[in-house]
Structure 1
Amino acid sequence: MAVLAPPVAAIRVAVRDALSGLPGDGPVLVACSGGADSLALAAATAFVAPRLGRSAGLVTVDHGLQPGSAERAAAVADWAGELGLTPVEAVRVEVAGRPGGPEAAARDARYEALVAAARRHGASALLTGHTRDDQAETVLLALARGAGPRGLAGMPAQRDLAGVPLLRPLLAITREETRAACTALGLKPWVDPHNSDPAYARSRVRAEVLPALVRALGPGVLDGLARTARLVADDNAALDDLADAALAAARHPDGGLAVPELAALAAAVRGRVLHAWARELGAPPSALSHRHVGALDALVTAWRGQGAAYLPGGLRVRRQAGRLFADPGSAQPT
């Protein structure tokens, strides 16, 4: 009897843990680029899902950014069909003309395509192959940007993506383990040249920063960064619960927020309350920054009769009669 390679076993266990107890009876769809991480995830899901009484499929997205991308996507789809995954789709997306840098534009296009595929097939969840190494990179990039706790929490193991559950089963699995699993299974991953392109900040972190940290502090630094993300995520969840209750308590029947209620809150909770309220008013989440929340906070804690605070989306918030209001005519959520 052949001995199962430890990396293959570890990835199967991670997938089983992620899928066990997943509500709904639709298929799970693996997002697969053809790289080692997503190939190993797809192979494990094809093995595990049927044993849990669930079907599993695959979606590969062709961004059209490199020569041969269509052929590569078709090859991934063919491999998935041979593996027994169903449904299988290769989806082409348009990246040009989208806002943000090339990385953000490609990511947005990819996730839109994945959500659309999940809805077409009534999927219970989407699975991505983000690893512990990806998590460590995410935390370092957030730290460099001066991100707050939400950024330092990294990528959650599960989140809602436009109404579709997104699962990341491999956040405790190393990138080296996914490569070793592919070798053990006889799979030949595609190596994305963008992953080593120094034009991208994440590529520089991957090629230069993380190796330097490992040399200076030892290999445990990657586990430490991933553990930091998990701990901060737990703290965020607790603070978010407090903020939800505080926002409800601060609401006034006229639609504003009561300043005395806000002023009595701890700064960490008040910031979350104001951030959530700004989003309710219609401020685009991607454009809403700490600077905007700070301007709202100044209306509460540093009030000197100043004018309105301006938020993304054409919103103006003013303080009057001990309450915060969005001015009439400001943008409203659609």
Structure 2
Amino acid sequence: MVACSGGPDSLALAVATAFVTSRLGRRAALVTVDHGLQTGSAERAAAVADWAASVGFDPVEAVPVTVAGRPGGPEAAARQARYQALSDAARRHRASAILLGHTRDDQAETVLLALARGAGPRGLAGMPARRDLAGVQLLRPLLDVTRAQTRDACAASGLTPWQDPHNTDPSYARARVRADVLPALVTALGAGVLDNLARTARLLAADTAALDDLAAAALATPPPPSDGAAVDRPLLRDGGGLSVVALAGLPGAVRSRVLHAWARELGAPPGALSHRHVDALDALVTAWRGQGATALPGGVRVGRRGGRLLPVG
């Protein structure tokens, strides 16, 4: 299932998908999301759906969503509404994956925005080529393709893509990066800077995945043996909490991921859980001075009791 706004990137992806699937004997679906944020958005979504049906996509859907009232700024709210609509559509039509048209240029912008807000390796890893979205595979097959190439693909196919005015609206940080920051970097450092930013994201994504695997393995440590047999190292999970000694023995990059994952297990909402919360949990391990419990999002509180980190009332 292709997610297509009618812009050059997703339209080029749709053209390529139609070309490939028709030759493989596979069916391809297409969904376009109407955010209702601009005049004529419903008509534009309908036009994208009509075009998709005309070139062989089946099924085709134009899905309206409500953005207002969702948490976060306008970009975050629209993104949340869009991904919810996409995952619902994929499950409705039993699609094997959702294809998104993000390009190398989008990846470079994402890395710069993450750097500007002080994100860690996970943020600097940018957009993953593949991830799970509520049980549906989300794929970005164009991350090595430039935005200019998608425009050329549309022109070669005789298509006129829609130009989203939000992409040039300076009130949006990404639009400012696109219009001012990236061109300035290319002027100062050469065109290769975009490839280098995207390559940095790939390298950090691989490192982050390895650290995530180590953290998951640590959290999967079995409980102590019931027969009282000795173990050769402190077990991480201990009586409903986490052993401080075992946590202290982990490399910092692994420990922070363990604490982040454990906080989510306790009910802290992932979107509200920040590095400051994880740092406060880490301080209960590495900078213990008898301080009180750490408050996490979702009303979760964690304290240190008897050599363990435990949820407390």
What TM-score, normalized by structure 2, do the two folds share? 0.94
Query: Could you tell me the percent identity over the aligned residues?
Result: 77
Which residue of 142, 154, 168 maps to 2:114?
Answer: 142
Does residue 279 (structure 1) correspond to residue 251 (structure 2)? The answer is no
Does residue 91 (structure 1) correspond to residue 57 (structure 2)? The answer is no
Alignment check: 8 A CA contact 2:236 2:247 kept: no
Q: Hey, what's the Cα distance between the residues in 1 that align with 2:46 and 2:213?
A: 45
Q: Hey, what's the Cα distance between the residues in 2 that align with 1:54 and 1:313?
A: 44
Does residue 244 (structure 1) correspond to residue 228 (structure 2)? The answer is no
In structure 2, the residue corresponding to 1:165 is in which secondary structure?
strand
In structure 1, the residue corresponding to 2:37 is in which secondary structure?
coil
The 5 A counterparts of 1:76-87 are 76-87=48-59
Unaligned runs of 5+ in 2: 222-234
The 5 A counterparts of 1:183-194 are 183-194=155-166
Does residue 265 (structure 1) correspond to residue 265 (structure 2)? The answer is no
Q: Hey, what's the Cα distance between the residues in 1 that align with 2:220 and 2:65?
A: 41
Does residue 322 (structure 1) correspond to residue 294 (structure 2)? The answer is no
Q: Hey, what's the Cα distance between the residues in 1 that align with 2:3 and 2:87?
A: 10
Q: Hey, what's the Cα distance between the residues in 2 that align with 1:34 and 1:248?
A: 44
Aligned residues: 300
Shift of 1:251: 3.7
Which residue of 133, 142, 149 maps to 2:105?
Answer: 133
Q: Hey, what's the Cα distance between the residues in 2 that align with 1:110 and 1:218?
A: 35
Structure 1 match to 2:73: 101
In structure 2, the residue corresponding to 1:159 is in which secondary structure?
strand
Q: Hey, what's the Cα distance between the residues in 2 that align with 1:266 and 1:92?
A: 46
The CA RMSD over aligned residues, in Å, is 0.9
In structure 2, the residue corresponding to 1:160 is in which secondary structure?
strand
Instruction: Encode CA deviations 1:68-101: one digit per residue, 9 max, x unaligned.
Output: 1011000000000000011100011111111111
Structure 1 match to 2:9: 37
Q: Hey, what's the Cα distance between the residues in 1 that align with 2:307 and 2:93?
A: 51
Unaligned runs of 5+ in 1: 1-28, 329-334
Q: Hey, what's the Cα distance between the residues in 1 that align with 2:137 and 2:217?
A: 25
In structure 2, the residue corresponding to 1:89 is in which secondary structure?
strand
Q: Hey, what's the Cα distance between the residues in 2 that align with 1:319 and 1:52?
A: 58
Shift of 1:49: 1.8
Shift of 1:253: 4.6
Does residue 256 (structure 1) correspond to residue 228 (structure 2)? The answer is no
Does residue 301 (structure 1) correspond to residue 286 (structure 2)? The answer is yes
Does residue 47 (structure 1) correspond to residue 47 (structure 2)? The answer is no
Instruction: Encode CA deviations 1:147-168: one digit per residue, 9 max, x unaligned.
Output: 0000000000000011100000
Does residue 151 (structure 1) correspond to residue 123 (structure 2)? The answer is yes
Instruction: Encode CA deviations 1:128-159: one digit per residue, 9 max, x unaligned.
Output: 10000000000000000000000000000000
Which residue of 227, 246, 253 maps to 2:199?
Answer: 227
Instruction: Encode CA deviations 1:191-245: one digit per residue, 9 max, x unaligned.
Output: 0000000000000000000000000000000000000000000000111111112
The 5 A counterparts of 1:114-125 are 114-125=86-97
Structure 1 match to 2:232: none
Q: Hey, what's the Cα distance between the residues in 2 that align with 1:281 and 1:183?
A: 51
Q: Which runs of 4+ in 1 moved over 6 A?
A: none
In structure 1, the residue corresponding to 2:272 is in which secondary structure?
coil
Structure 2 counterpart of 1:309, which letter? T
Instruction: Tell me which moved more, 250-259 or 111-120.
Output: 250-259
Q: Hey, what's the Cα distance between the residues in 1 that align with 2:198 and 2:245?
A: 39
Which residue of 179, 184, 194 maps to 1:207?
Answer: 179
Q: Hey, what's the Cα distance between the residues in 2 that align with 1:322 and 1:223?
A: 48
